[in-house]
Amino acid sequence: MNWKHIARWAARVLSILLILFFLMFSFDEPILSLGFLMHNVPTAIILIAAIVAWKHNRVGGIFYLIIGIASIFAFNVRKHTEALLITLPFLLIGALYLAISYKHPMKTKSSEKIPTNPQT
């Protein structure tokens, strides 16, 4: 197992745990009420980000980073540093997905180079 495989599953598991964490806060409202739906809006956004990231790592990583940066401003982290406990998982998951999607350029040996002008 290489590091990309471990990082991919770590990001996926963290995404699922984050969805369950936000879903937990919606159960203080009756299920058929408007409050229940309003409490699930952040959960739906995170679920969409997880689905996108599951298929397209780079796009999902950018989506998670945008959510993390937006939550830094929304929670006013400068005054309330405890809000970092909510925003840091988004940034960590986004960084993991972006690290997975990064591809190193292929290195070829000098004997394996393909000639640019093949003579026939």
C-beta atoms surrounding 67 within 10 Å: 22
Per-residue pLDDT band at 12 (split at 50, 70, 90): very high
C-beta atoms surrounding 66 within 10 Å: 13
The mean pLDDT of the chain is: 85
- Assign 92 to helix, strand or coil: helix
- Higher-pLDDT residue of 1, 36: 36
Residue 102 confidence (pLDDT) above 70: yes
Instruction: For 45-78, write each residue's pLDDT tens digit.
Output: 999 999 999 999 999 999 999 999 999 888 888 8
Predicted TM-score (pTM) of this structure = 0.78
How many whole angstroms separate alpha carbon 68 and alpha carbon 46? 11
Residue 3 confidence (pLDDT) above 60: yes
